[in-house]
Amino acid sequence: MDIAQLQAYGYFILIAGLVIALYGYIYHLYTARKDVDGHDYEDYADIALNDDVTDTPVSARSRDNEK
């Protein structure tokens, strides 16, 4: 086994590890959508597109909770 073959194996292992890490991170993003407080921030993803005064709000608020 010469150095070129060893480098090829190392490159393959590195790329395979990075692919596994990428898919693990994507899986984590789609399974843990809510944060600790229970907010799903994907609801806020299109807030820039729906910013007219007549659009429905993303999260409803009542006047009783205002301080």
Asked if residue 40 lies in contact with residue 51, where contact means CB atoms within 8 angstroms, the answer is: no
Q: CA–CA separation, 28 vs 25, rounded Å? A: 5
Question: What is the per-residue pLDDT for 48?
Answer: 75
User: How big is the CA angle at 40 (ends 36 and 44), to the nearest 5 degrees?
Assistant: 135
Q: Which of 29, 38, 30 is CA-nearest to residue 59? A: 38
What is the pLDDT tens value at each position of the chain, 67 positions in all?
A: 899 999 999 999 999 999 999 999 989 888 877 666 777 777 777 777 777 888 777 777 777 665 5
The model's pTM is: 0.55
Q: CA–CA separation, 52 vs 60, rounded Å? A: 16
Question: What is the per-residue pLDDT for 14?
Answer: 98
